[in-house]
Structure 1
Amino acid sequence: MDIREGLTFDDVLLVPKYSNITSRSQTSLTTKLSRNISLNIPLVSANMDTVTESAMAVVMAREGGIGIIHRFLTIKEEVNEILKTKRSGSVMIEKPYVIGPDQTVNEAIEYMQEKGVSGLLVANGESKLAGILTSRDVQFADSSHLVK
């Protein structure tokens, strides 16, 4: 068995020294995670259930690192976490979540929670945009009222 030496944070010490680099912008932190995946910063969040789900994966991706979603999810939950992560990176959402004006505020809240979003498009039967409903709009609204 080949046992390798492992290092912890206490085993490593960075000593300040003189450098010819005159600006931080001259350095590159880019590193390869695999043959096909490059990271802009050499940071990977732990694939632990208390650390990385979609929220952490989104933040890591925006900062240039990567978040590995943990394995203690059902397949359906894992797919949902990945979809949330991928969806957040889109500048334009191709298939936004939509509700009709005849639905109740309570139905809208449940749909937002189910999809993990804070806003919905409100469209009439002809798919014409009637408005945008956000979590702030429904915060103090009567849950039995229609979205209209």
Structure 2
Amino acid sequence: MSVPDEKTMSKPFDTSPAQRATQMARETLQIEADAILALKDRISADDGSVGRAVALLLGCTGRVVVSGIGKSGHIARKISSTLASTGTPSMFVHPAEAAHGDLGMVTENDAFIAISNSGETAELLAIVPIIKRMGAKLIAMTGNEFSSLALLANVHLDTRVEKEACPLNLAPTASTTATLAMGDALAVALLDARGFREEDFARSHPGGALGRRLLTHVRDIMRSGDAIPAVARDVSLNQALLEITRKGMAMTAIVDDMRRPIGVFTDGDLRRLIEREQDFSKLAIADVMHANPRTIGPDQLAVEAVELMEQHRINQLLVADAEGRLVGALHIHDLTRAKVI
């Protein structure tokens, strides 16, 4: 049995590129998670700066202008976007462009959020005195509470981190993550203070799934005109079945002389009828219909139609106007195609 020599025993195990990448990714996530948790603890123990910042922003009668340069500029754009989509009017202004005319977009009624990890960004420091002189309130988000920007601010939010996730401690990583998290914290606190609701969010996101759910009305997707399956109360069952086949909704409405729905007959009703009846030739639709069918108004939200269908376990719904006249019909597939569900 051979014994390994001293040189072989002291040689470290090789780490594959994949293992090294996994290790670096885990360390990065841990450093950034620690930075956010430290930020949370700092907020809990601070002098109420976050509360003052929220109060300042709530009292703003203009817009919240967010500014930064480089990586801080990218974070500033995202924070501004989040504020705007959650009920706080906001815009991003590039500090260098502001010094060459864009500062005209800022008014005395605005609040200005300046973002700089060092707190000494020259482009921001060049415009901050002008912003202060015009009367706009200043919130600074920096990693140095004794920086020039922090000392000029009405409210300073301390976003310092122990170290960056970058192995060289140079590339903004943990610091930008912490700043972004602070911006989200402000936006959510403002959202709550304003009583911002799902409906408000949908209005600023009409192209998204939530917007479709909360802004789509029944009249936008209902079948109308000749596409509505409907027969008079005195027709035979056979005639009603022809109407069901022609319109392809697996049901028909039964209406009175004023075109008010007085009943409904579905494919499911037909299957149950077949179990007990053999001869349909003498049956009138009025004898086998379900009276007092469920209806919904055309101006109600489509999501309300979904709730009615789910509540009553039905796949079709009649649409009636304020006078009770039949003006449309909905199938569960219509709601699915419209991506309401």
Taking structure 2 as the reference length, the TM-score comes to: 0.17
User: Which has the larger share of helix?
Assistant: 2
**TM-score, scaled relative to structure 1:** 0.36
The structure having more radius of gyration, on CA atoms, is 2
